[in-house]
Structures are given as structure tokens and as C-alpha cells.
Amino acid sequence: MQIHHDGQFPEWEKCDIVIFGVQEDRASDSNIGAADAPNKIREELYRLFFHADNKIADLGNIYQGESISDTYKAVEDVIYEVIKKNKTVLFIGGSRDLGFAAYKAYSKLEQTVNVCSIDPRLNMGPYSSDISPNNFINHIILHEPNYLFNYSSIGYQTYLVPPTEVALMNDLFFDHIRLGEIQEDVKKAEPLMRYADLVTVNINSIRFSEVGLERTEASPNGFYGEEICQMMRYAGISDKVSCLGLFDYNPVFNESKFGAKLVAQMIWCFFEGVCQRKRDFPIGDKSNYKKYLVPILGTDHQINFLKSDKSDRWWIEVPYPPDKRIKFERHHMIPCSYEEYQKAAKGTVPDLWWKTYQKLR
């Protein structure tokens, strides 16, 4: 690991993973103090033992700009430069509205992007010109030019989300999985992570007893530590995930430092996942994959499934118009589970296939 220290700036272009912190929390009235999170988390992170072979560069922190928009621009520029070089970047906030700045880094690449959030809320609150933690997803959806292809929400808690936001997710054919569904089987999160380019994680998705954050958004319900760490590993092993943001940890409300310890272990699990990537996302030549053809009952069509020999992971192939090949080449292979294949074999068209087909038309 190379660390920005005593004026020595890391040779990040020679590394596999790049970390930086963002000391910005002015958009969140209820979470002032989150700007101090990066350094507190580092204190716990650097006490852990790394077993991976990846080279990691810690660039240090982005300080608050004169305005919030200045900070957003700095975050956008740094992430853009890192992912342009095909590196994986992990940044620590700050408040979760910084996710919008991360999205804008992808828009500079002018490629369609998939966003996945682990969050107890959908963050699609009333739109205003000011970006806030509660409406930053709305800003992503409405940003022009728009490069968002899919948005996935993992672990939202129904009693914290207005029905209108759930209805909007359905209307846009976006994916959303409730907390209870994931806790029944945490593996349900893996295909959504495998499909994402950008992952944002709200620490408030973790139950209060696991992190001890005494603040307004703390909840008695949420993920357990081992569940959130498993999902971080899923994000790490995803070949597509190139940026992960961790938000809303606030050391002011966490004198025990339990929260910082957990976030550090989450980062460790992400690193471990990156080290174990299989590089088998089926783009281009698919001759090394097993192909399963499932007819759609009552039609002349079929659903194509692919299975990787490297990882035993599954994908569904969704047809798209030939004239949109460049735009949709990265998005028509949908990660899925073996259970999705089993359902299709019994005559049920997977929701993942149907939603994606509607977006590709």
C-alpha cells in the first residue's frame, strides 16, 4: 500500500485500487460531522492485515471546496481520472449526496452506467435545484445528458419509503429488493452487484446495534455486520464495479468507534473481493460458456442463459435492436442466479429479463 504522507504522493497509476476520502457534509443538516469520517475509518483500516496481492494507493482527502459544488467537481474529476485508467476506486464520505458527483464522473466518459445503492431509503425525494442526501438519485435520473441505464436499490425498508417512490421505481423498470428479502437470502444481492458500475453504501442501512450511531437516521432494523461485509465482497468480485462509495458514518455520534471498525472490515472485504475477480463477464467471445436455451411457452421465442466455467455464475441474454449495439453492448447480458434459470425452465419469464427487455426496446 502506498499512502499520501509527508508530501509523498502515491504512484497510483501503478496500483490496482485507489482510495480517497471526502471531507464534505454541508448538504446534510442532520449529519454534520460526517466530514471527519475518512480519517477515523483509516485509523481502524490500517490496523488490519491485508492478505491480497493487489497494490493499493491512498491519495488522502479532498477538503471542502468554497462551495459544495466545488467539492462535487473535485470528486467527479478524481474518479474520472482513476476509472479512465481502468482502476478500481473506493472513496469514503461525507454524506451520500456525493454519489451524484461519482455518477457525473461516468457521464464524462459518455457511457451508459448502472448504479446500485445499499440504503434503507430510495433517496428519490422531491426534486429541487439543491442536491441533498434524500434526493440525489432524482438528480441522477433527471441529469442531462442522461447515461443511467439501471438503478438498483438493496435493503430498503418499506416503512421509510413513500409509495410514490416505489411506484416510480416500477415505472422505470428499476430493481429494488426489501431488507427482509435480502436477509432471507443475502445471495440475492450478488447479481445486482455484478451488474453495477457504481455502488453506493449508506451506513444507516446497518442496524443501530451493529454500529452504535446515535443519530436521527439510526434504525433498530437493518443489516447485520456479516451481511453487509458479504455484500461488500460481492461488490469486490464483480468485474464491472469500478467505483464504490461509503457514506454517512459520523464519528461525532460514535464514541465507541464500533462503527469505524465495522466500516474498516467492510473495506477489507471489498479488497478481498477485488483480488478474487474472475474476469468472466461475457462480453465479446462467449465460446467458453455453457449455453442453455429455454423456450418461452406459447411463443416462438426462447431465453438464452450462459454459465461461466470459471465461476459457475449465470447470465441472461436479452435481445436488443441491432442499431443500438454500441449503446447497449455492456448491458444486455444480465447477471442472474441458478434459481432464475430454474424458474424459466418451469415456464416463468424472469423479472430481470422482462425489465431489461423494456429498457432495450
pLDDT digits (tens, 9 = 90+) for 165-176: 999 999 999 999
- Helix (H) or strand (E) run with residue 189 in it: helix 189-195
Check residue 80 and report its DSSP letter: H
User: Residue 52 CB: number of other CB atoms within 10 A?
Assistant: 16
Mean pLDDT of the chain: 91
Assign 7 a pLDDT band (cuts: 50, 70, 90).
Answer: confident
Closest CA to 100 of 71, 55, 137: 137
Residues 6+ apart with CB under 8 A from 152: 114, 115, 116, 117, 174, 175, 176, 177, 192, 195, 196
Question: What's residue 217's pLDDT?
Answer: 79
What is the pLDDT averaged over residues 190-209? 95
Question: Is the model's pLDDT at 299 over the cut of 80?
Answer: no
Dihedral sign, Cα of residue 150, residue 156, residue 161, residue 166: positive
Is the N-terminal amide bond of 94 cis, ω within 30° of 0? yes
- Helix (H) or strand (E) run with residue 306 in it: strand 302-308
- The residue with greater pLDDT, 327 or 223, is 223
- The residue with greater pLDDT, 65 or 285, is 65
Assign 125 a pLDDT band (cuts: 50, 70, 90).
Answer: confident
Closest CA to 203 of 267, 150, 126: 267
In this predicted structure, which of 66-70, 156-160, 323-327 has the lowest mean pLDDT? 323-327
CA distance 347 to 15: 47
Domains and CATH numbers, the chain: 2-275 (3.40.800.10), 289-360 (no CATH)
